[in-house]
Structure 1
């Protein structure tokens, strides 16, 4: 039997607590796997009250108890809490978010949970209390003992899977951060994850160009010829079905999307714009290359709508479902 998933509740001033409550209420309708939250019982209770939803909480001491309680109550492990003040982020809430993230990750790493679903944090507030990572992806990699750069962020929705090679950096820095080695390493990680976690026997990876029109034979830059094409050749020699460099403006059209399983993109917006345009309410952030399963809804804290009842749980439900599917596939070997 696969262990329950664990949720970190995110910043309590954002929509994370609401999403946890809404996902639990949708558990039967959406056939979701069992999950439990870490810390923030008072915040979750207050969020449910704000939404006008009944909520039974079950204080638990083990994942086994979570599986038993899930049908009738939202299981919560841990006693840390903070004030519930939606739309008003503060250090106390950031400390709760970090405690929840830390303990949830630890539970997954120790195999007490089959995977971790992380709800949105405010990186700036966490940095103010000593969080030394660009985001949750990098935190999880370090928590699992991996070297920087070993984990890969993939955005996955019903229509598209895309991986940005460079993430939180200035666009002007992208060309200097790209290398043939980086593309090959990330391409290998993506291919392995598509096989292991998504059951795709022979993954097809489309690699984007950096420059418009794939540089028009060098008219708009030479990164395609000197960096990207050698990487694609190396991936193909490794037995990976990699193609490109593809002009990014045409790669995500419906007919073209059917020709690949995942797109390897050169920078953040090149990957995230099409995913969010196609699958905003069902997009999932998946961390590849970890020894644990980790997913997250592909959106932020949304402080501006927190507590208003306008938060859409679609991406959180999709993240829980995807984490459960990956965990079940890994358990089968």
Structure 2
């Protein structure tokens, strides 16, 4: 069964639901049929997560991925031993938790760049905890981009076959509108097409969502479509990219979900987030494209309000691992 991809799973913020949803996910034997999961975290935190969730698994501590056995019933874990569990409080912003979460990410990058793991799946981290630890990043995507030397990584959401890219992410809506330019849109269409090919999508069909109601009605409700988006799409098509639009945002995601397009390029954060999460909140998975390796993640936060209660759903975590396993081979062949 060594043809199963080896997925490195970071524990996330140890004071969050991260360790709990990792524990719950790896209690599911179906995941072991798809991949070889390797947790990167802290063994004492994992033991605490077992206690709150009622998961009954053994932990095998390994120094390297090659030492793992990857059999259901036992979690193979690289223990960074970087948390004082006696002082770690569930559900609170803490510097030691932010530092530990960052350390797990760094180790996952080292292993992935060395080819020791086939892909990475991440549990949630907390921006305030990172800041408390003196770590100057606002999130996973920025950390993975900076530490791998990847400029402006792409974010791709996937849920039940619906795929959504984002032209802009964590900026104000006003700033996002200013960033919708012909040059940026063309650059993203090129990179989005390439990212889909890396995931095994042959001749990808890309739709561009419109910004204004009814795609602007030829300039009646705003001219961004006519001035920036339509020329960019024409440029992309001239290069052989199967791009179309701009399509009204109130219908393009529905068409994509029904198979008309392989992915939609959303123009701003909430435009794509709302579509994906209304379609299936728990099964929405975030993929970071453009890195030297494949990375997937849950698309929810640290849920400090329920951390330590065992209530957190592991559906998104399980789905993120499944997506990593499904795409790992295609991504590896494309490198």
**TM tier, smaller:** over 0.9
Partner of 1:88 in structure 2? 92
Q: 1: distance between equivalents of 2:172 and 2:196?
A: 29
Q: 1:180 deviation in Å?
A: 1.4
Long gaps (5+) in structure 2: none
Normalized against structure 2, the TM-score is what? 0.93
CA distance in 1, matches of 2:163, 2:51: 36
> Does structure 1 conserve the Cα–Cα contact (< 8 Å) formed by 2:166 and 2:269?
yes
Q: Quickly say closer, same or farther: Cα 1:29–1:69, change in 2 above 3 A.
A: closer
What pairs with 1:218-233 in structure 2 (closer than 5 Å)?
218-233=219-234
The answer for the alignment partner of 1:53 in structure 2 is 55
CA separation in 2, counterparts of 1:271 and 1:325?
23
Aligned pairs (5 A) from 1:106-255: 106-147=110-151, 149=152, 151-197=153-199, 199-253=200-254
What do you get for the CA RMSD once the two structures are aligned? Answer: 1.8
Question: What is the CA distance between 1:273 and its match in structure 2?
Answer: 0.5
- TM-score for the superposition, normalised by structure 1: 0.93
Unaligned 5+ segments in structure 1 are none
Q: CA offsets per residue over residues 120-179 of structure 1, 9 Å max, x none?
A: 0011221232322232112111111223x2x10011111411111110011111121222
Alignment of 1:35 with 2:49, yes or no, is: no
**Do 2:122 and 2:297's aligned partners in 1 also have CA atoms closer than 8 Å?**
yes
Confirm or deny: 8 A CA contact 1:40 1:82 kept in the other structure: no
Q: Take 1:233 and 1:30, find their aligned partners in 2: how far apart are those partners?
A: 45
Aligned CA distance change for structure 1 residues 51 and 255 (closer, same or farther; 3 Å): closer
Q: SS of the residue aligned with 1:166?
A: coil
Q: How far apart, CA to CA, are the structure 2 residues paired with 1:265 and 1:120?
A: 23
> Tell me, what secondary structure is at the counterpart of 1:38?
strand
1:278 deviation in Å?
A: 0.7
Deviation string, structure 1 residues 93-114 (Cα, Å, up to 9, x no partner) = 1111111111112211111111
TM-fit CA distance, 1:23 = 1.1
Q: 2:296: which partner in 1?
A: 295
